[in-house]
Amino acid sequence: MKLIEFTIAALAIELMPGPNMAWLAALSAAQGRRAGLYAVAGIGAGLAFYGIAAAAGLAALVTAAPIIFEVLRWLGFVYLLWLAVDAWRSAAPADAAMKGVLTLPPGEITLARQGFLINVLNPKAGMFYLVVLPRFLDAGAESTVSSNLSLVAIYVFIATSIHVAIAVAAAAFGSVLPPGSRSEIFVRRTLALVLLGVAIWLLIDTRPSV
């Protein structure tokens, strides 16, 4: 029963709009499915990193030392802000001779690294493992680390499945837009603004309660 409840909770959390979803949709629509899938790999690695850290007890430092959480909040905001500005600038019209230089897409490893960093610098990703996950652990479990890792694996699988669907759908949507057209520029800049909004929302939503 707890496993079913955890699966439902993970689905509900991952279906809520957040930094991963906004950035992944913008990236996949602009650069295609292959780029989106590499980004998904990085996002999954970031979620797994936080999960392993939580299972080992390292992520508890985030709550034990409020300054760490605060630093993560601001670093996450600045990084998302930079990605939003970069997405806006890459959508800017340019003459044919310069457009390929100005909008040269990042390499696949860079995309995976960006996805990883979005999660590592997202305090809400870490808080899931600290606040939500422990509620589904059996009090008498022989191995807390083992139980944690099992739930982490389920969560990462669910999140990755949803992210793959987002990447494929956004890439399909982006492929019907004529390259360099006004409609493509409008959509890409709209997604950049959405990413900016997510960055501001994340900063406000993760403010320490007073």
| pLDDT tens profile 82-115 | 888 877 877 665 433 334 433 445 678 888 988 8
Give the structural domain span for 152.
Answer: 21-205
Using an 8 Å Cβ cutoff, are 98 and 23 in contact?
A: no
Residue 67 lies inside a defined structural domain of this protein: yes
Candidates 112, 121, 120, 116; CA nearest to 37 is 112
d(CA 22, CA 136): 28
pLDDT digits (tens, 9 = 90+) for 120-166: 887 677 677 777 777 776 655 555 667 778 888 899 999 999 999 99
Average pLDDT over residues 170-179: 79
DSSP class per residue in 23-92: HHHHHHHHH-HHHHHHHHHHHHHHHHHHHHHHHTTGGGHHHH-HHHHHHHHHHHHHHHHHHHHHHHHHTS
Residue type, 126: G
Q: What are phi and psi of 118, to 5 degrees?
A: -60, -35
Q: How far apart are CA 172 and CA 166, in angstroms?
A: 10
Model confidence, pTM: 0.77
Give the per-residue pLDDT at 164: 96
Number of domains the chain contains: 1
Q: What average pLDDT score do residues 3-22 get?
A: 82
Task: Summarize the confidence of residues 180-201 as an average pLDDT.
Answer: 78
With respect to residue 5, please indicate whether it lies within any of the assigned structural domains: no
Question: Considering the domain boundaries, does residue 210 fall inside one?
Answer: no
Predicted confidence (pLDDT) at residue 44 exceeds the cutoff of 80: yes
In a domain, residue 14? The reply is: no
| Gap between the Cα atoms of 196 and 23, Å rounded | 10
Residue 57 binned pLDDT confidence (cut-offs 50, 70, 90): low
Residue 15 lies in a domain: no
If you average pLDDT over residues 19-30, what whole number do you get? 83
Greatest mean pLDDT among 55-69, 126-140, 176-190 lies in: 176-190
Q: Determine, yes or no, domain membership for 143.
A: yes
